[in-house]
Amino acid sequence: MSRIRSWSDAPSKPRWVPPAGAVDAHVHVFGPETDFPFSPKAKYHPEDATPDMLFALRDHLGFSRNVIVQASCHGVDNRATLAGIARAGGKARGVAVVDPAISDTELQVLHAGGIRAVRFNFLKRLVDDAPRDRFLDVARRIAPLGWHVVVYFEAEILDDLRPFLAAIPTIIVVDHLGRPDIAQGPDGADLAAFRALLDDHPNIWAKVSGAERLSPQGPPYDDFVAAIAPVVADFPDRVLWGTDWPHPNMEDRIPDDGALVDILPRLAPTQTLQRKLLIDNPMRLYWPDAV
Ligand code: 0GY
């Protein structure tokens, strides 16, 4: 299988400068495959996107820290993510994907390696199965560690997923806002359902990322900003943001990371909102020891 590259080698320098201490709270590392082979169940086979490449991008974009999210191509083998965290010298923490049969001792090892959450992925194009009862068991077991749950799902299954989400005892971060149809606009059915979820569950947070995936218009992502800025304004203490570098599965529409950062002053138009989105909120979840 040939390997795919889904990120730009020469992202622009953003015009907007993030505040000092800003966290890019959704990135991945791929491989290097020679050290950390991809899962036999992987649905895509990317080129290596190494920690050093990630840190160069972090500095180029003006960010201070990263949250490395275990990507589906590495399955439940978190070694690439852990190696990235270890190499970051304290400037990265992580989200793991685990085999529900994981032992408490192994969870402790992940914690020592900088993991602060588990991710449950419901996208059929990315994973073969998503066993809700076993995920719930994991959620109950990670709660005493102070971790939270990250979920990735599409708007179509939100209604069906509500009882599952309601049963999770920790904070829940929803990746890319549960992939609403942005073409519906800020008052469309998908965002209305997602906002109702946030209204009903004070423990549910939104990652207001994924413009490059969700915006039918593309850069400068005016449709995404119009739909999502109201979410940031209305739930300022429960939002996170990330570039999503190296943009898995985006090889046909490789985004410019600088243009993604330039969305931020429009998504969060005041310094107070910017600080919450990029510093206070991610620090509370991933570096509670530092705040
Ligand atoms: C993302 C989105 C995608 C992929 C993964 O774990 C993954 O492979 O999350 C996707 O293809 O939509 O957030 O990275």
The pair of three-digit structure tokens given for residue 130, joined into one six-digit string: 């998503």
Q: What is the pLDDT of residue 1?
A: 62
Residue 35 Cα distances to 31, 74, 80, 82, angstroms: 7, 12, 8, 12
Q: What is the pLDDT of residue 257?
A: 98
The pair of three-digit structure tokens given for residue 14, joined into one six-digit string: 């953003």
72 lines ligand 1 (CB under 6 A): yes
Which of the residues 175, 190, 244, 262 is marked catalytic? 244
Q: Considering the chain, what is the average pLDDT of its residues?
A: 98
Instruction: Report how far ligand 1's centroid is from the alpha carbon of 250 (Å).
Output: 9
Instruction: Report how far ligand 1's centroid is from the alpha carbon of 76 (Å).
Output: 14
State which ligand 1 atom lies nearest to the alpha carbon of 175: 13
48 is an active site residue: no
For the full predicted model, state whether its pTM sits above 0.75: yes
| Peptide bond before residue 51 is cis, with ω within 30 degrees of 0 | no
Residue 50 φ then ψ, to 5°: -90, 165
Q: What is the pLDDT of residue 291?
A: 78
> Which residue is closest in CA terms to ligand 1's atom 14?
248
114 lines ligand 1 (CB under 6 A): no
Domains and CATH numbers, the chain: 23-290 (3.20.20.140)
Instruction: Report how far ligand 1's centroid is from the alpha carbon of 261 (Å).
Output: 19
Q: Report the b/e string of 29-55 with b at 16+ CB within 10 A.
A: bbbebeebebeeebbbebbbbbbebbb
User: What is the C-alpha separation between 56 and 35, in angstroms, rounded?
Assistant: 21
Q: What is the pLDDT of residue 2?
A: 84
Instruction: Report how far ligand 1's centroid is from the alpha carbon of 72 (Å).
Output: 7
Rounded to 10°, the helix 222-234/189-200 angle is 20
212 lines ligand 1 (CB under 6 A): no
pLDDT < 50 regions, the chain: none
